[in-house]
Amino acid sequence: MFKTVKSKILIIAIIMLTVLMFAFGCYTVYSRMKTKQLMVQNYGFSMNEYTERLDDEIIYAENNLNGLALIGNVFYRTDRSIELTNRIITRIFEDYPKNLGGGIWFLPYKIDKSKKYVCFYAYRNKDNKIIIDEKFSSEEYDYPNQEWYKSIISQITPERNIVWTRPYYENLGSYSTMVTAGTGIYVDGELIGIATVDWKIDPVIEELSKIKPMEKTFSMYKRGNEIKNSFALFANEDEDYIIATNDPYLDGEKLIGHSLKEIPWYTSFDKLYSTTYIKYHGQKYVPFARRINNGMILIICIPQKEMFKYVNEFYLLMIIVMLLLGLIIPTLLYLSMNRYIINPIDKLTEIANKISKGEDIQIKLEKPEEFAQLASTYDKMTNHIKAITKEKAKMSSELSIANIIQSSSLPSVFPPYPEKKEFDIFASMEPAKEVGGDFYDFYFVDENKLMFLVADVSGKGIPAALFMMTVKTLISYISQMEHAPKKLIETINRKVCENNRNSFFVTMLSGIIDITTGEMSIINCGHNLPLIKRKDGNYEYLKLKSNIALGVFEDADFEIYETVMKPGDIIFTYTDGITEATKEDDEEFGAERLLNTLNSIEETEIITIAQKMKNSIKEYTQSAPQSDDITMLIFKYNGISEIKTFKQAAIQENYKMFYSWLYDACKEWNLEQDLTYKLDMCAEEIFANIVFYAYPEKNGNIEAKLEKTYNSIIFKFEDDGIEYNPLEKPDPDVTAPPEEREIGGLGIFMIKKMADKISYKRENHKNILTLTFKI
């Protein structure tokens, strides 16, 4: 699936992109985290700033308070002028424009034994005008019994001089949530009263909720600089009361002054200070906790979602862009690769295919440049191939000519000596390549001596074939001059050595047989052992001593094996192309299989033996290509045959003479009486046939030949009368009742029954009928 260049490049691109995207993704995650940290820090800075401002306000309030306390002290110590004191208070309020209200409250009966309530209280009305309110020094208000008063009085000591009350809702003038800071007025170490300053909480809370990051830190936050849904808690942790909260899930007004335990998300200041987020009503909030100078704590919870809204949006955008790039880049890569690489390759492939089919095409490819170069290289290559192909075709035709020359140099007409009945010889060579290194040959070296040989030149192809031709010529030339086998083979070896410049060598098996006596000399020069079959016996390997191959040592000594061939004996010689014929699994045909195959062939006709042998090899090797030349030469010795001839005019008067001739021959050859009778019978029928039918219009002769071979009698009749093939005549019905019997046709029928083989041919205007009888 991923075998093409296209897919491989695509995969590499995808892997690279994945790695890049992963790296970028990691960076994004890291940078997002860092950005968030920076944001949290930035909010922290805003918080610090705000906290400082609160601190300033508190210090401001406390300074104001100290001023009031000093006025109280002065009032006590001086002439106690109410009017003057009111004026001074007014002036102080003018000096502290942020103060909403405050006053001086003396302990009951401290100023005057008759006056329980002495106090001064001023506040800023809606028009920012300072009003001195005198209604608090009344029985009705009874300030010493007010919670805030009691709270302050009970807490102040000379050491801890400023006390903040719990927040309370003031319903007399300002109608708002207040916290009062109070301090004692001491005269000579004695507490004579307290001074208070009111601090309205509502604006603080309101402002706290609008917390925003410092400007210009991240330009992208400018767009929406207010954070929605954040809320604040203002409390005193030490005293465990809530000063104010605008928690959207709680009723802030009711909770004022209550324990911090009533805030579900509140754990402790320290914990919240170090917590990155809290979960509250299914939302994440980032808490910012700060302490204020007077021991109060301030906690602002900002929804994480809101806080990081822009960060998250920014990174989401970034991821989308990256994914799009991840899709677009491989697509572009794929398309451009297709266009600039794959398409030219496909085109080149297509053209190469056409060229390989023999089409004559000029390759035209102008871009991209690399492929244009490749195309021109292709072109050069094609031209080169064309040239080579031409050369090859020429060589191949030369090779086939060489093959023809080589084949024609081996005797190929069988039987080679039809008139020689003493022996049969058949040979064949099937070259593995077009020209082979195997050869065989046979010829008469003198009147009665036939020499035959099979040989295998080392190496294959043209050089081996050329050498083979040389050797073949040498052997046939020398064997005409030298007949003594030992001397002959030594001369051949020497000459082969002389002519051998390329270190070839030749294995050869040769036999020289006297066809009149059957005496045979066999020479084995490093060749495969021949097989011999004696008449009525089985094939056996002839255990010859192997001599050295021809062409190795000039002075090599050769041992000759002598045997006598009896009529009917067969010798089978071959080259290693048979024994080393292999199937696809490399198993060789082998010597034993050769022996068994030969013994399974019942026929004694040597052409049939050769044919069956070839079939067996073919059957064995099946489709495997032939690896070596397959050569075999079969020689069968028949012995001397004797022939008697009779030739007379074809007239009935000569019949007596004819059968006495036959009887004399049978007697001379000691033929069995039964065979003699059969010959007599057939002879008479054919003689009569010729006499009565061959020459209706003229006189003619009858010629009979009786031949005795080692295993048969061949009876041959010739006449030059009218063409007549007696074998075509239908057989008479020998089962018919006598009344229906025809008189004619019985003779031929009887011959057919008696002879072992019968054949007819018309040749040179002669009828030739041949009968064979086995002995």
Partner 1 sequence: MDIMLKEVGIDGLYVTASGRLDLDNAVVYGAKIKDFIEDSPEQITNVTLDFSEITFISSFGLKVILELYKQLNGQKGVLKLKNVSEQLKNSFVIVGFDKFLLFE
Enumerate binding residues for partner 1 (CB under 8 A): 652, 655-656, 659, 673-674, 677, 680-681, 684-685, 687-688, 732, 734-739, 741, 743, 746-747, 749-750, 753-754
* Angle formed at CA 677 by CA 672 and CA 680, multiple of 5 degrees: 125
DSSP state of 669: T
Residue whose CB is less far from partner 1, 82 or 657: 657
DSSP codes, 133-164: E-TTSSTTT-GGGSHHHHHHHHH--SSS-EEE
Give the SS3 label for residue 405: helix
Q: Which residue has the tokens 């695509």?
A: 10
Residue whose CB is less far from partner 1, 696 or 737: 737
Nearest to residue 206, comparing CAs of 224, 175, 223, 230?
Answer: 230
Residue whose CB is less far from partner 1, 378 or 659: 659
Residue whose CB is less far from partner 1, 144 or 732: 732
In the complex, what is the shortest distance from the CB of residue 719 to partner 1, in angstroms, rounded to a whole number?
16
In the complex, what is the shortest distance from the CB of residue 414 to partner 1, in angstroms, rounded to a whole number?
37
Nearest to residue 488, comparing CAs of 498, 477, 497?
Answer: 477
In the complex, what is the shortest distance from the CB of residue 747 to partner 1, in angstroms, rounded to a whole number?
4
Distance, CA of 392 to CA of 388 (rounded, Å) = 6
Residue whose CB is less far from partner 1, 534 or 753: 753
* Token duo for residue 572: 């089978």
- Phi and psi at 275, nearest 5°, equal -85, 140
In the complex, what is the shortest distance from the CB of residue 507 to partner 1, in angstroms, rounded to a whole number?
56
Contact 183, 69 (CB under 8 A): yes
Residue whose CB is less far from partner 1, 96 or 659: 659
Bridge partners, residue 279, by sequence: 284
* Angle formed at CA 660 by CA 658 and CA 663, multiple of 5 degrees: 115
Residue whose CB is less far from partner 1, 723 or 739: 739
In the complex, what is the shortest distance from the CB of residue 754 to partner 1, in angstroms, rounded to a whole number?
8
Nearest to residue 89, comparing CAs of 78, 75, 76, 79?
Answer: 75
The burial of 316, by beta-carbon neighbours within 10 Å (0-12 exposed, 13-18 middle, 19 or more buried), is given as exposed
Distance, CA of 512 to CA of 441 (rounded, Å) = 12
In the complex, what is the shortest distance from the CB of residue 724 to partner 1, in angstroms, rounded to a whole number?
17
Distance, CA of 396 to CA of 393 (rounded, Å) = 5
* Token duo for residue 373: 């170069």
Q: Considering just the CA atoms, what is the radius of gyration of the chain in Å?
A: 68
In the complex, what is the shortest distance from the CB of residue 690 to partner 1, in angstroms, rounded to a whole number?
11
Residue whose CB is less far from partner 1, 92 or 679: 679
Residue whose CB is less far from partner 1, 159 or 740: 740
Task: Let me know how many helices (H) and strands (E) the chain has, helices first.
Answer: 18, 27
In the complex, what is the shortest distance from the CB of residue 655 to partner 1, in angstroms, rounded to a whole number?
6
Nearest to residue 633, comparing CAs of 444, 436, 451?
Answer: 451
In the complex, what is the shortest distance from the CB of residue 664 to partner 1, in angstroms, rounded to a whole number?
16
What type of residue sits at position 706? L
The burial of 308, by beta-carbon neighbours within 10 Å (0-12 exposed, 13-18 middle, 19 or more buried), is given as buried
Residue whose CB is less far from partner 1, 473 or 652: 652
Distance, CA of 703 to CA of 690 (rounded, Å) = 10
Task: Write the CB contacts of 396 (distance below 8 Å, at least 6 apart in sequence).
Answer: 434
Residue whose CB is less far from partner 1, 548 or 754: 754
* Token duo for residue 346: 């496909």
In the complex, what is the shortest distance from the CB of residue 479 to partner 1, in angstroms, rounded to a whole number?
53
What type of residue sits at position 553? F
In the complex, what is the shortest distance from the CB of residue 766 to partner 1, in angstroms, rounded to a whole number?
23
Residue whose CB is less far from partner 1, 279 or 741: 741
Distance, CA of 375 to CA of 349 (rounded, Å) = 11
In the complex, what is the shortest distance from the CB of residue 523 to partner 1, in angstroms, rounded to a whole number?
52
